[in-house]
Amino acid sequence: MKKLLVLFVLVLFGTTIYSQNVTVKVKMGVQVAKGNFVIGTDTVVIRGNFQAAAGDPGGDWQGSMFKLTNYNAADTSYSQTFTFPAGMVGNNYEFKFVKAPDGWEGGGNRPLPVATGTTVLPTYWFSNDSTYPAGAQVTNTINFVADLSQIYGSGVGFFDPNQDSIIVAGLDWDGLGTVVSGVRRLAATNPLQPKIFRTSMTISGIEGDSTKWKFRAYPETRFTNTGWETGDDRWFKYVADGSTVTLDPIQPRIYPSSGPLTAPSQVLFQVNMTNAKNRYNNQPINPASLIFVGVKGGSEAIGNWGGNWVVSDTTVQTNGYPYITKLNDSGLNGDKVAGDNIWSTTVAFPVGAGTGAIEYKFAAYYPNADTVNGGTSPLDNEGGFGVNHLFILRESSTVTELTNIFGDFTTSIKENPALTPDNFSLLQNFPNPFNPSTTISFTVPQDGIVTLKIYNMMGEEVGTLMNNFQPAGGYDVTFDASRLASGVYFYTLTTGNFTATKKMMLLK
């Protein structure tokens, strides 16, 4: 009897010491006030990369096994304490809140550390939205117009209406709006304008508030970026109740794939880290402290956006390709000058890789970089979600060179061997007028510091496309002006004693 009592005490003592409890709490008051969550009807769960390890048979990032059931009417919050297996102690996972079944909150992933004993996480607001609406609930109808003239055609490399479609995705993301009626798929309704696609949707939200959306093309295998528009989300601001808003025609940032590569194609990624800043705290990054710089993007050869923007992404691989590919500043693997703060690497895109527009982004790792953002996607520190660099992958027997500045997403630069650098020259941008991007070409006959800047009509600088050492050669610079207003702009090239300026027009 004494042995049984001692065993019971040991088991109880052991359970008390070695239990791994994590308490999670989320406030839903703002979502309730905005009409996005109904107490007693809707449920909120957490999903993350911990689920399989915690015994969820369905796997990670899905399901409702981890449901928050404790409701507190005082602060309109839900909470729950989950017990995790002992083998998870010491691990750091990530999660998000979800209004079941699939109303994901916005923002980045949240940290979920598992420690011995009980861990109480901070009290979160769903989507980090703690501002109660001041305006009234309104209903707006939006008329969407997509101009597909730049990609319209037949077969591979075009938007083919016989097999492709385009939709309006979003409007109800992050609980920022509710779709009342309408058809997401756009259609060419005027036989005289077969390349212009339209649809209308009615949504409700808070007057003065905004909701986000994007175009997406299907089937996703016929487009790069799985059919999604590249770049930032688009936003719609709610106006007076009952209003109908017809948006100006938009040329979607959608790129049909030109088919798979038939031969390997090499791409040299280069990024200038001289004036780099960590976007999470806007603090400068000391180039001398860098342990490595990496690149991740929307093709398997550069990770296919896999992983969690952590150091282990450089070693975890899919089909031999890491989620983050390391660059160097040691004069190796394509790096031209050791120790010049321009980090580089040459990546071979294999036969079968999808051609067309590829988005990518850089990561900077240095001492304590993994603590700046609380451990959640710490190396996603160049730009926010959807803010990426972009280049066009094509069949090429020569190396495609990309030159970037860390944190500058207005430009993508590549060497153009077709331009003969006998003299200094600055060519007229093409297309011109343009919306939202254009290409600026120039040649420099000798090595040196090259500066290419954009100015508005008032002479104010609105962008620096290049400000670094470039070898002699010809270059194409892709300038994305999606963040600028329509109007006339000037671009100025300066290198050595040579300066040239040309005019261009942005029409949105």
**Cβ-based burial of 2 (10 A; exposed 0-12, middle 13-18, buried ≥19):** exposed
User: 370 in helix, strand or coil?
Assistant: helix
> What class is the 137-246 domain?
mainly beta
Residues in the chain with pLDDT < 70?
1-19, 374-376, 411, 468-469
- Tokens, residue 116: 């011995």
Contact 60, 52 (CB under 8 A): yes
Tell me, what amino acid is at 35?
G
Q: Where are the alpha helices (DSSP H) in 182-269?
A: none
pLDDT of amino acid 8? 40
Contact 472, 446 (CB under 8 A): yes
Tell me, what amino acid is at 70?
N
Q: What CA–CA distance (Å, rounded) separates 164 from 192? A: 20
pLDDT of amino acid 397? 81
- For 2-128, CATH number out of 2.60.40.10, 2.60.40.3880, 3.40.50.720, 3.30.70.1350 equals 2.60.40.10
Considering the chain, tell me which residue range(s) the CATH 2.60.40.1930 domain(s) occupy.
Answer: 265-506
Q: Which CATH superfamily is domain 265-506 in?
A: Macroglobulin (MG2) domain (2.60.40.1930)
Q: What CA–CA distance (Å, rounded) separates 451 from 318? A: 39
pLDDT of amino acid 374? 62
Q: What CA–CA distance (Å, rounded) separates 318 from 336? A: 29
Q: What CA–CA distance (Å, rounded) separates 262 from 83? A: 51
Contact 47, 61 (CB under 8 A): yes
Query: Residue 75 half-sphere exposure, CB side, CA atoms within 13 Å?
Result: 12
- Alpha carbon separation from 63 to 51, 57, 109 (Å, rounded): 9, 10, 17
pLDDT of amino acid 156? 81
Q: What CA–CA distance (Å, rounded) separates 348 from 269? A: 11
Tell me the β-bridge partners of 15.
none
Considering the chain, tell me which residue range(s) the CATH 2.60.40.10 domain(s) occupy.
Answer: 2-128
Tell me, what amino acid is at 301?
A
Q: What is the mean pLDDT of the chain?
A: 87
Cα-Cα-Cα-Cα torsion 382, 438, 185, 142, nearest 10 degrees, comes to: 90
Cβ neighbours for 225, distance < 8 A, ≥ 6 positions apart: 255, 298, 357, 359
Q: What CA–CA distance (Å, rounded) separates 67 from 80? A: 8
pLDDT of amino acid 2? 45
User: What pairing do the DSSP bridges indicate for beta strands 292-297 and 325-327?
Assistant: antiparallel
Report yes or no on whether pTM surpasses 0.75.
no
Q: Which of 96, 78, 91, 79 is nearest to 32 (CA)?
A: 78
Backbone torsions φ then ψ of 287, nearest 5 degrees: -55, -30
pLDDT of amino acid 131? 83
Cis-peptide, bond into residue 101, ω within 30° of zero: yes
Contact 295, 325 (CB under 8 A): yes
- Tokens, residue 50: 């911990």
- Tokens, residue 438: 């254009």
